Copies of this chain bind each other. A is one copy, B any other.
């Protein structure tokens, strides 16, 4: 039996286009399996609350069923109406199409409702055993069907969030193969976790597993593909490509009731490499799916904009990326030359718009009101907002997607200007801590000849950008470390607070100065109003600012004191 894993890159809401992608995968296999909600794209979010959207999805499924080869069995991830009764009105389903018709509807049992996931907002849990049989060459194969989270409630591996384990229940039946339709977003080293879980299940239940993951960027979420075939012994025997569409085919031996291929190596990829690929895909797909061909960004001569420019070039092509230098009287001469050198290395066009005249115009306009008030953060923010406004003017006039360049450390402590450098359609590195920004740039300079890279070989990020002290350059001789702790300390405190849910006391126990910890946590809480208005942030960590970070703004943060 030939099993196809259709690792497609759906656009949310693009029912026809997604159906076409599924059809393209319907080649020369007996069983084709898509990713979760492949027909409508994951995550459809509140589109699901529009009744007509659900109806249109049903029609698109019927059309797809008619067009598929009649002898092929296809499991399509889609939304279906739940039967009458209590609870939400939809199922997150794997629909089995055979001979032009719907033969089975299998509903997802376990609905994740944490981090970026809101599935209990839309869906009702399935309660039936999801099993069907295929007859090929006079042999009957029983297949158990699971959807994403259904695999993730094994109490040997995790704190169980749900009252039952669909895998264990299916494994009690005489099934020959377990399939899983997933939409599992990328996070750093997530693939290793996925493969451990699959291997655990395969060994524990003596079952081969087909795991199909979505690929592509959808707003803040990046899906990395990496679909897997795992044999009965818990060996990975095939893996689809990472960060790109793929059709992976496995040969299931009807006698042995297992995949016949030999084991391949476990997944291993340097963190820098997988983060780089994720961010490139995230930018490429956000631009493509929103209808942008070209991007613009401010080049400050600093490391953050250097990294974002490089990602944008890889994602969109060097002719599609425009860098804007906007020097002020506080910009060091090096900032300008560093930005220009970076642009030369990348081969992108730049333009320079000095902002001193605009600063003067604002000062004049505000002088009657500000009178003799001393300069403060107001004037610093004005510079940032002038730049943000100029970039948006270019975005409006030429139809460029504006990429914002702030990193996670800045966004966490509010070291960024709302309506200024935070402007943009997408916060490309808003989930990348500053220390990882450095690691990525060093890695880029070493690795620019790696196979999937379209960059000019040679150094990308000029050495001086990597070595100079980070600075916002909004007043004379300013550096980030005037007001922030060193980034290795800051990032470690932030990691434990944000990603690991540590409280103040637990962080202090790691050996940090209590006053410093207090100050950092206060900064995080006090800048919530800025993050609430930030653009979507490409998620690469366990907890990114964005849809998975839901903090109140108007709070008394006394609980940290």
Residues of A whose CB lies within 8 Å of any CB of B are: 11-17, 41, 43-47, 49-53, 55-56, 86-89, 113-114, 118, 120-121, 155, 159-163, 217-219, 285-286, 289-290, 351, 353-355, 357-358, 361-362, 364-366, 368-370, 373, 376-378, 381-382, 385-386, 388-390, 392-394, 396-397, 418-419, 423, 425, 501-506, 529, 532-536, 547, 549-559
Q: A219-B553, A392-B381, A555-B289 are in contact. Are A529 and B161 (CB under 8 A)?
A: no
Flag if A362 contacts B389 (CB, 8 Å).
yes
Measured CB to CB, the nearest residue on chain B to A397 is B378
Flag if B161 contacts A559 (CB, 8 Å).
no
Flag if B556 contacts A17 (CB, 8 Å).
yes
Q: A45-B550, A366-B353 are in contact. Are A558 and B55 (CB under 8 A)?
A: no
Compute how far the CA of A161 lies from the CA of B89 in the bound complex, rounded to whole angstroms: 9
Q: A49-B501, A549-B46 are in contact. Are A13 and B425 (CB under 8 A)?
A: no
Q: A12-B554, A13-B555, A393-B378 are in contact. Are A357 and B365 (CB under 8 A)?
A: yes
Flag if A385 contacts B392 (CB, 8 Å).
yes
Which of A12, A364, A389, A503 neighbours the largest number of chain B CB atoms within 10 Å of its CB? A389
Task: Add 16 more A-B contacts to A15-B559, A49-B501 (CB < 8 A).
Answer: A13-B557, A17-B556, A45-B550, A45-B551, A53-B503, A87-B161, A118-B118, A218-B552, A289-B556, A351-B368, A353-B365, A357-B364, A362-B390, A376-B397, A381-B392, A547-B550
Compute how far the CA of A510 lies from the CA of B14 in the bound complex, rounded to whole angstroms: 27
CB neighbours of A392 from chain B (8 A): 381, 385, 418-419
Flag if B289 contacts A550 (CB, 8 Å).
no
Q: A51-B503, A353-B369 are in contact. Are A11 and B555 (CB under 8 A)?
A: yes
Compute how far the CA of A48 lies from the CA of B155 in the bound complex, rounded to whole angstroms: 23
Compute how far the CA of A438 lies from the CA of B506 in the bound complex, rounded to whole angstroms: 54
Question: Shortest beta-carbon distance, A327 to chain B, in Å?
Answer: 12
CB neighbours of A365 from chain B (8 A): 353-355, 357-358, 390
Nearest 5 pairs of A and B residues by beta carbon: A52-B503, A14-B556, A289-B554, A13-B555, A378-B396
Compute how far the CA of A506 lies from the CA of B55 in the bound complex, rounded to whole angstroms: 12
Question: Shortest beta-carbon distance, A540 to chain B, in Å?
Answer: 18
The count of identical subunits is 2
Measured CB to CB, the nearest residue on chain B to A292 is B554
Flag if A163 contacts B554 (CB, 8 Å).
no
Q: A365-B358, A389-B389, A552-B45 are in contact. Are A161 and B13 (CB under 8 A)?
A: no
CB neighbours of A290 from chain B (8 A): 529, 553-554
CB neighbours of A12 from chain B (8 A): 552, 554-556
Measured CB to CB, the nearest residue on chain B to A40 is B559
Compute how far the CA of A559 lies from the CA of B88 in the bound complex, rounded to whole angstroms: 22
Question: Shortest beta-carbon distance, A368 to chain B, in Å?
Answer: 8
Q: List 7 A-B contacts (CB under 8 A).
A: A55-B503, A86-B155, A378-B397, A385-B419, A419-B419, A419-B423, A533-B535
CB neighbours of A289 from chain B (8 A): 554-556
Compute how far the CA of A72 lies from the CA of B17 in the bound complex, rounded to whole angstroms: 65
CB neighbours of A555 from chain B (8 A): 11-14, 41, 47, 289
Flag if B559 contacts A53 (CB, 8 Å).
yes
Q: A15-B558, A17-B556, A52-B505 are in contact. Are A46 and B369 (CB under 8 A)?
A: no
CB neighbours of A50 from chain B (8 A): 501, 503
Compute how far the CA of A334 lies from the CA of B46 in the bound complex, rounded to whole angstroms: 42
CB neighbours of A218 from chain B (8 A): 552, 554
CB contact between A161 and one of B86, B155, B160 (< 8 Å): that residue: B86
Question: Shortest beta-carbon distance, A315 to chain B, in Å?
Answer: 14
CB neighbours of A368 from chain B (8 A): 351, 353
Compute how far the CA of A50 lies from the CA of B505 in the bound complex, rounded to whole angstroms: 12
CB contact between A121 and one of B113, B361, B366 (< 8 Å): that residue: B113
Compute how far the CA of A181 lies from the CA of B355 in the bound complex, rounded to whole angstroms: 56
Compute how far the CA of A550 lies from the CA of B390 in the bound complex, rounded to whole angstroms: 30
